[in-house]
Structure 1
Amino acid sequence: MMARILMITGDFTEDYETMVPFQTLLATGHQVDAVCPGKKAGDTVKTAIHDFEGDQTYSEKPGHNFALNATFSETDATVYDALVVPGGRAPEYLRMNNEVLDMVRHFFDAGKPVAAICHGAQLLAAAGVLRGRTCSAYPACAYEVTASGGTFADIAVTEAVTDGNLVTAPAWPAHPAWLKQFLAIL
């Protein structure tokens, strides 16, 4: 059975962490609706490319414009089977939107599959859904995971971790493991 998946994203979302899961999930036959608060289908969000080049943290470069295919104000989380939360800068400000937080909570309350990567953990922490859960993220987000009652999974950047209905990973190099585990629980 193919799933109807909601992707919540925003400006300066990480390019690979948005485009790769979006396209992969479509290619495997799932429906993916990408939304952003304040935007409608056909609008775009700017992306940023984060790379690991030996500096103390990731570098950030301009990415592509990612076209949204659904309208946030018309989104009803209850009609979706799963949620994807990309990383990048977007979760930093999306976590201040109560409608977004309510949507995230819906997926956890209903026990639906959720995939979050990198800074996506910031959104999960703000929604209060990590208590008692194991969650990976970009290492700089470890504090948010533990402060919200979760256990930070300090795993290799190429790995992912599944805790019940939640699949998380540190960053885009984990796409093969992250998407494989997410597809397994769909």
Structure 2
Amino acid sequence: MKKILFLTGDFTEDYETMVPFQMLEMVGYTVHAVCPDKKKGDTVKTAIHDFEGDQTYTEKPGHNFALNYSFDDVKAEQYDGLVIAGGRAPEYLRLNKQVIDIVKHFFTENKPVAAICHGIQILTAAGVVKGRKLTAYPAVGPEVTLAGGEYQNIAVDEAYVDGNLVTSPAWPAHPKFIAEFLKVMGAKIQI
């Protein structure tokens, strides 16, 4: 059974944590949801980001999401894929050296990686987007460019694939984001 490492943290976007985690478990993957400095059974607070006609998204309290694995027990080489949730968590997660080392491992080994919304901030901090085409929440676009990536300005409900990397602007793209990640993971779903 393939294993996926799912990186999240406090004030992650609610849907971008809950929905991909549940979808990936639903299709049969073992998914380890982790956050630095937290253990299995600890929770992260989530935030609901919505698009309500303002110049940027609004933010409301979300759910508490229970982590099912301890960050200190993560050994990147034991995972087949990596998913990075968005929201505000990536702002501080990208400051953690172990998080950066984990991300670099997945790119060095050319393993599947999916990042959504602000999760791309972790990729830019890890220095793994140079020469890659990817998308992100539009406010993160300049970071992609400064890190040497080629920012793709796509609709909020779309996903972009560049080799082993699947990215998306925000949670409205979940159906395409997860479908594309499953393809990169080599999944075959028959209906």
Q: Is the TM value for this pair above 0.5?
A: yes
- The one-letter amino acid paired with 1:62 is P
Corresponding residue SS for 1:176: helix
Return the offset for 1:91: 0.3
- The one-letter amino acid paired with 1:99 is Q
Instruction: Please list every run of at least 4 consecutive aligned residues from structure 1 whose deviation after the TM superposition is greater than 3 angstroms.
Output: none
What are the superposed Cα offsets for residues 85-117 of structure 1, whole Å, 9 maximum, x if unpaired? 000000000000000000000000000000000
How many equivalent pairs are there? 185
Return the offset for 1:8: 1.0
- The one-letter amino acid paired with 1:133 is R
CA RMSD, aligned part only? Answer: 0.5
Hey, what's the Cα distance between the residues in 2 that align with 1:119 and 1:125?
10
Corresponding residue SS for 1:34: strand
- The one-letter amino acid paired with 2:65 is F
Return the offset for 1:135: 1.0
1:15 correspondence with 2:17: no
What are the superposed Cα offsets for residues 1-47 of structure 1, whole Å, 9 maximum, x if unpaired? x4200011110000000000000000000010000000000000000
Residues 91-130 of structure 1: pairs in structure 2 closer than 5 A: 91-130=90-129
Q: Which residue number in structure 2 is paired with residue 28 of structure 1?
A: 27
Q: Which residue number in structure 1 is paired with residue 169 of structure 2?
A: 170
Hey, what's the Cα distance between the residues in 2 that align with 1:3 and 1:171?
25
Give % identity. Answer: 66
What are the superposed Cα offsets for residues 138-173 of structure 1, whole Å, 9 maximum, x if unpaired? 000001100000000100001000000000000000
Q: Which residue number in structure 1 is paired with residue 70 of structure 2?
A: 71
- The one-letter amino acid paired with 1:122 is Q
Corresponding residue SS for 2:174: helix
Unaligned runs of 5+ in 1: none
Hey, what's the Cα distance between the residues in 2 that align with 1:134 and 1:7?
22
Hey, what's the Cα distance between the residues in 1 that align with 2:124 and 2:2?
25
- The one-letter amino acid paired with 1:146 is T
TM-score (normalizing by structure 2): 0.96
